[in-house]
Amino acid sequence: MNDEGPNLRERRREETRRLVQSWAMRLFVERGYDATTVNDVARASGVSPMTVYRHFPTKEDLVLHDRCDDSLAERVAARPADEPPVRRIGRALVDATRSLLGPAGGARSPEHDLLLARLRLVVDTPALRARHLDSQYATRKSLVDAVLGDAPDPEAEFRAQAAAGACLAVLHVALVRWAREDGRPDLPDLIAAGLTAAFDDDSGRPPASRPTR
């Protein structure tokens, strides 16, 4: 009789995902992405190649896979529906990044170091750069769906698509700079500054830091 509930099984799956991905990143950094095989990752992780592929269908997924899209979409959906799409998406990007990395000025977290290692590989590996840009289509769709809710119309969808695409472009620029500067700048602040530069407003800035008008 199996006493494992769905929550316990999911936690164990997530632990396996983290274990495999952390070993993959370690090997990619030490040996190089192209020189490391999925079998190498499986051996280092103590699992079978089939287990690796079950969690990461392609080698690129070992670097690019995360579970941020659902969290971002939930944050967008939770914001006031009467906010402009740029503000809803921009604030969600800043808040989600802050939640992942912790407060500014704090000690580097394992999440910080993992994200930095992943971004360095993406910046330096042409195949990963192409897949990263391609994966943004899925992220954009999840953000657009969160903005539109249950009653989309063509004009609203157009505006949401434009806002999501622009915000993700800002995010990409901020991530590349953050990786090139060894993760020293505060990433949420970089994203907020990029949003301000792109839209000439305070869409990405927390209320306490917005100028009085």
Tell me the per-residue pLDDT of 102-113, one tens digit each, with 9 for 90 and over: 777 667 778 888
Q: What is the pLDDT of residues 76-96, one digit of tens each?
A: 999 998 999 999 999 999 999
Question: Which of 55-59, 137-141, 198-202 is predicted with the least confidence, judged by mean pLDDT?
Answer: 198-202
Q: Which residue has the higher pLDDT, 205 or 82?
A: 82
Given a cut of 70, whether residue 211 has pLDDT beyond it is no
| Span 186-194, average pLDDT | 95
- Contacts of 34-43 spanning 24+ positions with Cβ under 8 A: 34/125, 38/62
Residues 6+ apart with CB under 8 A from 208: none
**Confidence check: pLDDT of 161 > 50:** yes
Write down the pLDDT at residue 6.
Answer: 64
Q: Percent of the chain having pLDDT more than 90?
A: 56
Residue 144: the pLDDT is 94
In whole angstroms, give the CA distance from residue 19 to residue 17.
5
Using a pLDDT cut of 70, give the percent of the chain over it.
88
pLDDT of res. 66:
77
Any long-range contacts for 132-140 (C-beta under 8 Å, 24+ apart)? 132/64, 133/172, 135/64, 136/168, 136/172, 138/69, 139/68, 139/69, 139/72, 139/168, 140/164, 140/165, 140/168
Average confidence score pLDDT of the chain: 86
Predicted local confidence at residue 129, as pLDDT: 84
Q: 210 pLDDT exceeds 60?
A: no
